[in-house]
Chains A and B, each alone.
Chain A
Amino acid sequence: MTQRDPLSCTEARWSLWPPEKPRLHAPESDRAWEHVRSCRACSRHFREDRAFVEALGDLPPIPAPISTRERIFHVIAEARAAIPMRTLRSLSDRRLAFGASAVVVITIALSVSVLVPKPGTPDTTASITSGAVVEDYLRRTVGEDYIDTTDPGVVTRFLERELGVIISPLSVPGLEIERVEICLLSGERAAMIRYTLNGEHVSHYVLPTPSGPEKGPSLTGAGSPATGGTLPVVTWTSPGAEHAALGDLDPSALLRLVQGRLDE
């Protein structure tokens, strides 16, 4: 058996870094640790590193400011607009057909009932264009899903953290949250809360907007020739956000759901 050359400090540190990483018992790492134990400089190096890592534990969390977050997502939205989305070849016909009607309904509903500035209304409302809604729908259709939760409190905290608005999910007996997803509407960060009610799905879009007058729930979209009346949409506003809900329910049930009087 030949005696191997002793490891240099550089080789030992290179092979053992990061030292806290679990490693399989192997001759190379054994040699490296053996070197560290017998080398004052390397022992000191790793002791100092351990003290540094412990000191890092004192650091308070530094969350990215919401303004920074918004600007970054705006940059991505701009990049998306500049570079066309890749061809979506894997869409199934069924999903695409449903998506097309959903997109038309959402677009009509949001653009007609909530987002078109009314006379006398300051033009500060965010706008959702059909292209933006199509973009979001297509991103979902190709399977880019987001964050799962069923807890209303988690949803509220998530929306406050991610969108900077305090929104309570819809709440009526039997309505259960499935998940909440971040989405992009017209380059703005928005969210979609998905619920089930007795096996039927309801989607609730939330778009943060500058504060404006509150508007109660109203039904739009149902009966539109473009949609065949299959997908009713209820829209409303609350402090700091615009909302749209649509899904499998019939129009009056969807409206009563949003109004919180489903049992009437």
Chain B
Amino acid sequence: MQKAIEELITDELDTLYRGALFLCGGDGTRAEDLLQRTAAAAYRSGVGGGGSDDPHPLERLMVQQFVRDAGRPAPMGPSTPVERPAQPASFGTMTPDRLHRAAARLPALARAALWLILLRRWSYADAARALGMDRDGLLTTLLWRDAFVAALVQTGGSSTRSAAE
């Protein structure tokens, strides 16, 4: 049975809110603005009217709205390569604040790509489609992953959980 847009949003709002906070670097006001624009766009585009096999239409619309708000930047990687420590990263205890501070250091497109791929576990192909990128564009954008991981590690203090474990 098709779902009304209100029901879709009710089902997914907490996830969308977490995503909006990540995309907006933890700024709750901007996150709410993004969600409101996403909801309006979802209604206009007929989300909830059935006939689509898109499993995450609201999330897709949200990242698209976010990228559009950022002026549709071109994909680009970090200007300088991120120095990788010898050992794989240790993340310690994760908090929303750490996550948002690390996200805030990234350009908009990188936040959107990492939200979909790293946190929401979308396939590369689905993420590239949602972001309107080709393969090379997405791979270039994902070069920011190391910067994101480094920022998370820097904000983590003494770590207790290591990828090497």
Which positions in A face B, CB cutoff 8 Å? 10, 13-14, 17-18, 20-21, 44, 47-52, 54-64, 68-69, 71-73, 75-76, 78-80, 83, 139, 143-147, 162, 182, 184, 189
A48 and B1 within 8 A (CB):
no
A76 and B9 within 8 A (CB):
yes
**Complex Cα gap A47–B149 (Å):** 13
Chain A min CB distance to B57 (Å)? 14
| Contacts A18-B121, A64-B14, A162-B10 given; does A75 touch B139 at CB 8 Å | no
Residues of chain B at interface, number, CB under 8 A: 51
**Complex Cα gap A79–B122 (Å):** 30
Which of A21, A76, A145, A184 makes the CB contact (< 8 A) with B39? A76
List chain B residues, Cβ under 8 A from A69: 13
A63 and B14 within 8 A (CB):
yes
**B74 at the A interface (CB under 8 A):** no
**B10, B16, B89, B95 pick with most chain A CB within 10 angstroms:** B10
Chain A min CB distance to B142 (Å)? 9
A44 and B99 within 8 A (CB):
no
Chain B min CB distance to A185 (Å)? 12
B89 and A48 within 8 A (CB):
yes
- Return the CB mask of B80-113 against A: 1 if under 8 Å, else 0: 0000000011111111100100000000000000
- Give the A-B pair count, Cβ closer than 8 A: 123
List chain B residues, Cβ under 8 A from A21: 121, 123
A72 and B94 within 8 A (CB):
no
B1 and A143 within 8 A (CB):
yes
- Can you report 5 residue pairs joining A to B where beta carbons are below 8 Å apart? A14-B125, A62-B14, A63-B17, A71-B32, A144-B4
A47 and B163 within 8 A (CB):
yes
A43 closest partner in B (C-beta):
B88
B35 and A182 within 8 A (CB):
no
- Return the CB mask of B145-165 against A: 1 if under 8 Å, else 0: 000010010000000011111
B10 and A182 within 8 A (CB):
yes
List chain B residues, Cβ under 8 A from A10: 139
List chain B residues, Cβ under 8 A from A182: 6-7, 10
Chain B min CB distance to A188 (Å)? 12
**B118 at the A interface (CB under 8 A):** yes
**A50, A59, A80 pick with most chain B CB within 10 angstroms:** A59
**Complex Cα gap A49–B117 (Å):** 11
- Return the CB mask of B26-67 against A: 1 if under 8 Å, else 0: 000000100110011011100010000000000000000000
Which of B32, B95, B162 makes the CB contact (< 8 A) with A68? B32
**Complex Cα gap A143–B121 (Å):** 32
| Contacts A73-B6, A76-B43 given; does A48 touch B163 at CB 8 Å | yes
| Contacts A17-B124, A62-B14, A73-B6 given; does A50 touch B95 at CB 8 Å | no
A62 and B96 within 8 A (CB):
yes
List chain B residues, Cβ under 8 A from A58: 93-95
B93 and A55 within 8 A (CB):
yes
List chain A residues, Cβ under 8 A from B39: 72-73, 75-76, 79
A54 and B161 within 8 A (CB):
yes
List chain B residues, Cβ under 8 A from A146: 4, 7
**Complex Cα gap A80–B43 (Å):** 8
B89 and A51 within 8 A (CB):
yes
| Contacts A48-B163, A68-B32 given; does A79 touch B14 at CB 8 Å | no
A144 and B7 within 8 A (CB):
yes
- Return the CB mask of B131-145 against A: 1 if under 8 Å, else 0: 000010001000000
A60 and B96 within 8 A (CB):
yes
Chain B min CB distance to A56 (Å)? 6
List chain A residues, Cβ under 8 A from B21: 62
